[in-house]
Structure 1
Amino acid sequence: MGKLTKLVGVAGAVAGVTYLSKSEKVKGQFDKAIEKFNSSYMKNLGKPSNIDDAKMVDEGAMTSVQYYNEQQEKSQGES
């Protein structure tokens, strides 16, 4: 009896998910939620609003890369 109950429960869950996935209302709500998330969060991710700030970050990144390259060259020259 336990296996039959589990089988009926799983079949019901699959039928419910299938029904909801075909429902246009549910799809519309899901699409709205994804669009809202993308428009409010993803657009501003990692983009400084001030151009000067963006330049400063870019220059800072290059400084660390240049330092690393110099250290690598020094260590190869000593070998």
Structure 2
Amino acid sequence: MAIKRLTPYVMLGIGIAGVTYLVKEENRNKTFNTVQQMKETVQKWFNRQNSEIQKKLLDKAGHPNPFDHGDAEMVSEGAMYAVEYYNKEEQ
């Protein structure tokens, strides 16, 4: 119960401390540079993860595994779509 009563005051204290710290231009520049560095680091990490996933997908697309049931199911469904479309157009 006491924590719920203290939470707004703690948040207010953090806000006041942040504003007080950011009043000086030097501190604003430091904070801005730190945020930019963190943003660049996260973007590099995300791009690296994304490129690894893309490589795996391209490798799989070029050489499908016949024992991969999900992939085989998708291929068979795609093949059936073309056959059904052809039959529908012919009738």
Same fold (TM over 0.5): no
Could you tell me the TM-score, scaled by structure 2's length?
Answer: 0.39
Could you tell me the TM-score, scaled by structure 1's length?
Answer: 0.43
